[in-house]
Every structure is written in C-alpha cells, then in structure tokens.
Amino acid sequence: MNAAGRGHRPRKRFGQNFLRDPNYIRRIVAAIAPGSGDHCLEIGPGDGALTLPLAEAAGRLDCMEIDRDLAQRLETRFAGWENVRIYRRDILKFDLAELGENADELRVVGNLPYNISTPVLFRLLKMSHSITDMTIMLQREVVERMTAAPGNRNYGRLSVMLAYYCAAERLFPVPPEAFRPIPKVHSAVVRLVPHRQRPMQAADEDFFATVVRTSFGQRRKTLRNSLKSLAAAEVLERLPVDLAARPEQLGLADYVHISDAIAADKEK
C-alpha cells in the first residue's frame, strides 16, 4: 500500500496516489491480521507506512516496488530487518517462484494503481495456487465489478473470472481525501480468497477465459452473435444455455458449460 512519501513527487506513469490517513492504515492492517507464521507479499509499498506494521507482525515480508527511488528508500529503511526483502520489480513480469521456499502460501497486500489494476488482478489470478488470500485496495468501481452478481449492471468478465478463481468480499470504502495527491475516484478494500477446490472446473482454462472474454467483448449482443466466432451455428444450438440471452445474464456454471461443450466439439 502506498503511503505519503516525504520528498517524493508522485509519478503519474506509475499511478501513484499515496495513502496517508492513519485510521485507514490501521483498518487495513486489522483486516489483514498478519501473524508470525505468515509470508506476506506487498505490491507497491510506496514509502512504507503499511510496510512497517506488516514487517513487525509477519514472519516474512517481500515488497514489490517498481519505482526505483521508492525501492531504494525502502532498502535503506529496512536494511537491518532480516524478515524484509525489497524487490525493484514489476509485478506484471514477476514469477512468484523467485521468492524461493515457502512461496506457495502467500498473503498478498496491495494498493493497485488504477491504470493497471485489471492486468495485475488477472496476473495474480494466474498465480492463485500460490496465494492464501489477497487484501487489496482498488478503484471502487473495479471492486463493484469484482463482486457483482449475474444480472447486475456491473457484472462482467472480471466478475466471472474472479468467481472461478476466488471468493471475493468487499470490506470497506476509502475516500479520496485519505490519499495524497487526492485522486478523482473513490477506492475500496476487497479480500480475495482463492478456491482450494473450485466450484466449477473447466476442461480447458485458457479456452474458458477466451469464451468469457469473447462473450463480454460486445455486451449488447446476444450469446448467439457474440460466440459465433468460436463455434459453428449448429454447435452453438446444442449448447445448454439460452442463446438469446445477453452475457450478463449467465452465471459461472453457464460459462464453464459453454466452454467445455465447444472445446469438446473441437476435439472431435
């Protein structure tokens, strides 16, 4: 989580808005409730306001900071801490296996920059088998999409993909005034807990992701029209769903069934 950095000018290209309100820092730490046996990964620690309480409570803390200046400050500040490691890396290009032993039960914490929040989320979902939980702060509208149910106007590709990999719980909002500089958007904290046993298992997860992405690519189209690029008309007619429905009307199970049916036909 980014916290207001002394002498550091926030950089727009990194989407930096530093959390400065101590009340919300305490609330976030309380929501995480780090313990001595926990291995935490903080994405975008900024000046380390949240990093300090995490380091004091967690058994091990790895921090991923793309801003070279902030990373150097953190390295200096936590130079004497044996349980803290600072990585000057981009999470979008990082393999969690590089964290070494016991990197398969990570507790992820992060204030995800608004401009790359969705790519980072999908990156983390791909590595969810190594993650115990994620407590992250994002733009409020993104959290609303993450936690939306079928039929809701915010329901979309992100909602379906998250439901496949995780259970999502919206924790609390964070107002713009809690940041510096003050952003033009509201934020919210959400907890994601990866499924150890998925409610639905797609036969081909990559193709499942393609089906979901294609379905929501043109939301106003019916499934019959949006999926015609993936399968012939006769194959679509055999799908166990109403092809006249729009993508936001279907749940996770529907998309897994669609994906499996089309994939099975392609293998014939």
**Of the candidates 168, 194, 220, which is a domain's last residue?**
194
d(CA 138, CA 32): 16
**pTM to 2 decimal places:** 0.89
Strands, E assignment, the chain: 18-19, 39-43, 60-64, 84-87, 106-111, 131-139, 166-174, 179-180, 187-194
**Of the candidates 194, 227, 257, which is a domain's last residue?**
194
Identify which of 22, 11, 80, 76 has the alpha carbon closest to the alpha carbon of residue 44. Answer: 11
Number of neighbouring beta carbons within 10 Å of residue 217: 12
In-domain check, residue 256: yes
Measured between alpha carbons, how far is residue 79 from residues 4, 231, 249 in Å?
20, 57, 52
**Cis ω for the linkage preceding 34 (within 30 of 0):** no
Domain of 124: which CATH number? 3.40.50.150
In-domain check, residue 258: yes
In-domain check, residue 7: no
**Of the candidates 194, 229, 248, which is a domain's last residue?**
194
Dump pLDDT digits (tens) for 213-239.
999 998 889 999 999 999 999 999 999
What is the predicted pLDDT for the residue at 5? 44
Structure tokens at 206: 């990559």
Dump pLDDT digits (tens) for 2-40.
444 445 454 444 445 778 899 999 999 999 999 999 999
User: Within this chain, do residues 216 and 173 fall inside the same structural domain, yes or no?
Assistant: no
Count how many domains the chain has.
2
User: Within this chain, do residues 126 and 231 fall inside the same structural domain, yes or no?
Assistant: no
User: Within this chain, do residues 174 and 225 fall inside the same structural domain, yes or no?
Assistant: no
Domain assignment of residue 218, given as a range: 205-267
In-domain check, residue 36: yes
